[in-house]
Structure 1
Amino acid sequence: MAQSNIKFHLLVVLATTLVGGSFLASANLAGLINPFSLTLLRFAGAVSLLLPFILFTKKWRNKVLRTLPRSMVISLFYSMFFIFQFEALKITTTLNTGTLYTLVPFITAMLCVLVFKDKIKAKQLMIYLLGALGTCWVIFAGDLSRLVDFSLNNGDLLFIAGCVSMCCYSISMKRLYRGDELIVMVFSTLLGGCIWMGLALWLSGLPLEWHLIQGESVLYMAYLVIGATLMTVYLYQKTTVALGPTRVMAYIYMNPAVVALLSLLVNGQSINMQVIPGILLSASATFLLQRQANVNKT
């Protein structure tokens, strides 16, 4: 791992941790309001926090319109992931979606071969398989019978489309980057997310119901807005441009381990010893993919 890139890898680890925390926060908000409205509020809250800085800084304000068309494409892929996820969960289970999400690093790598002419070797394919095995081990808690019983349904097919959207989101961040001011790109992407999720909410006919978020729920929502939306969009935009989509998406294999660790630290929920081998496999795959990326560059 190049010394100059270490800070970007640390930023991806931070983003991965923030995303892991979003699962805990979202669990506390589940059932309070519909997920379309919740996601729109995440985007709208993040936009509101950035808006004063954009409005009162002329050089940033003047660049928004130039950046917005490209950001609309980026935010479309990001929003489509949430839309497919919400629709899929009406039919399938969180266990299935968690398992299928392990496809994202591999699909991203395949798309990068087409878009950026990246090369992928047989050794890398084996590492992706190792990472998927590790995350599935954590998701299924080391119970092979649950893995054997795993089967696809129509909801899973919808979520696979969502996974492809997430891959395209990562790729488009690098492909459509034109040396833009990072804060302007992030603001425009979040603004685009507001537009797309607002359209989805309108088409679904679901109510906003933001007034139902009260008391302790406000704190969970604040975390989703600041930590899991504003900061992660910023961090992923910054690191994807520097490291590339393949290397950033490889950290997805760490998600189950991060959620398990945060559950221990925040909620005191003990980690099942049966998932430890899966956590080690996931960590190994993430490290090996970063190392292999360095080898491919030399």
Structure 2
Amino acid sequence: MVTKQNHLYVHALMLLMVALVAGSFPVGAIITNALPPDVLMFIRFLIAATLFAPFVFYKHGLFIPTPKSLMGYALLSLPLVIFFWCMFESLRYTSPLNTGALYTTVPAITAIFAYFINKESTGKVRSIGLLTGTIGALWIVFRGDVDALLSLNLNYGDSIFLVGCLFMALYSPMIKRVYAGEPMELMTFWVILFGSGWLLLISANKLGGIDWLLVDSVVYGGVLYLSLFTTLFSFFLIQFGTVKIGPTKVAAYSFLIPVFVIPLSILLGVGTFDIATLPGVSLVIFAMILIQTNTKNIEIKKG
């Protein structure tokens, strides 16, 4: 049984995960046009797997999971690959504002998937929290401009990203189905490694045509940041949190991403504080309190 102190520890890690993900937006904006999206994602996943491999092999030896586990890890990596491909592909046709608005649907969709896959009931209070959090996040994205929100018409790029959001929402419930009590670092490593494999298949025909010496060092630095902090660390934290507190609670932290982006943008000098976002921030915090205090903690039995 998990103690209250451990609960607080897990939630602190989820806040760290949100901060890391929020920090990826300005970094991604800087490097997104330097290389094809699938190539960028392949390098990102490959670097993350390479950096993580020494630790995993040192701690567990050259351990190869069972065929059943490998199949589960391969399937679990697919939603991540599809989501990231959809994200970068959609930005060729739509705006970051539209994708940011659509991403706030992930927690609610996750709750639906969790019900069917994990038999995790949403409940009235948590449903209210998900609805409130979605409204609050949308308020932050659109700065309280209702007309701008209502004028959000789904274009081709939006449709692609919405498909990506569906797969991202599928990811957390799938973790609880695949996880069988193994050390979390093993699961994280194999998911990232299989993700690298899928991305290699997608980007293989483009790799030979790139002059790698002409790629700006800032791009390599950005990819390294994304690999280490928003791929390796964040995937590990998401998987750890999902096992400990459930997919809906973890997904609900996505509501806080716009809240974290505001101070980060100000610190980086690429944004300013808008008082019109305060009602949205309040709604998101209220929603988080509802979801995190009302959802029963569900752990996966080991073995």
Does residue 77 of structure 1 match 2:82?
Answer: no
Contact 2:184 2:236 in 1 (8 A): yes
Structure 2 matches for 1:69-218, cutoff 5 A?
Answer: 69-202=71-204, 207=209, 210-218=212-220
Please say which of residues 116-125 and 35-44 is displaced more in the overlay: 116-125
Aligned residues: 296
Aligned partners of 1:170 and 1:178: how far apart in 2?
14
Aligned partners of 1:220 and 1:213: how far apart in 2?
12
How far off its partner does 1:205 sit? 8.4
Contact 1:64 1:188 in 2 (8 A): no
Aligned partners of 2:297 and 2:236: how far apart in 1?
28
Provide the secondary structure at the position in 1 that maps to 2:224.
Answer: helix
How far off its partner does 1:206 sit? 9.0
Relative distance call for 1:209 and 1:48 in structure 2 (3 A) is farther
How far off its partner does 1:93 sit? 2.4
Q: Which amino acid aligns with 2:180?
A: R
How far off its partner does 1:209 sit? 5.3
Does residue 223 of structure 1 match 2:228?
Answer: no
Relative distance call for 1:153 and 1:181 in structure 2 (3 A) is same
Contact 1:71 1:188 in 2 (8 A): yes
Provide the secondary structure at the position in 2 that maps to 1:61.
Answer: coil
Identity of aligned residues (%): 32
TM normalised by structure 2 equals 0.89
Give the corresponding residue for 1:53. 55
Q: 1:118-156 CA deviation, whole Å, 9 max, x = no partner? A: 222233322222111111111111112211211122332
Relative distance call for 1:272 and 1:213 in structure 2 (3 A) is farther
Q: Which amino acid aligns with 1:29?
A: I
Please say which of residues 149-158 and 133-142 is displaced more in the overlay: 149-158
Relative distance call for 1:259 and 1:280 in structure 2 (3 A) is same
Aligned partners of 2:101 and 2:75: how far apart in 1?
27
Aligned partners of 2:167 and 2:277: how far apart in 1?
29
Provide the secondary structure at the position in 1 that maps to 2:226.
Answer: helix
Please say which of residues 65-74 and 13-22 is displaced more in the overlay: 65-74
Structure 2 matches for 1:229-268, cutoff 5 A?
Answer: 229-267=231-269
How far off its partner does 1:295 sit? 9.4
Does residue 16 of structure 1 match 2:14?
Answer: no
TM normalised by structure 1 equals 0.91
How far off its partner does 1:158 sit? 2.1
Q: Which amino acid aligns with 1:63?
A: I
How far off its partner does 1:53 sit? 3.0
Q: Which runs of 5+ in 2 are unaligned?
A: none
How far off its partner does 1:164 sit? 1.2
Give the corresponding residue for 2:63. 62
Give the corresponding residue for 2:38. 36
Relative distance call for 1:256 and 1:212 in structure 2 (3 A) is farther
How far off its partner does 1:92 sit? 2.6
Provide the secondary structure at the position in 2 that maps to 1:136.
Answer: helix
Relative distance call for 1:132 and 1:50 in structure 2 (3 A) is same
Contact 2:132 2:284 in 1 (8 A): yes
How far off its partner does 1:269 sit? 3.2
Aligned partners of 2:97 and 2:18: how far apart in 1?
19
Please say which of residues 67-76 and 184-193 is displaced more in the overlay: 67-76
Provide the secondary structure at the position in 2 that maps to 1:267.
Answer: coil
Aligned partners of 1:7 and 1:100: how far apart in 2?
30
Contact 1:16 1:254 in 2 (8 A): yes
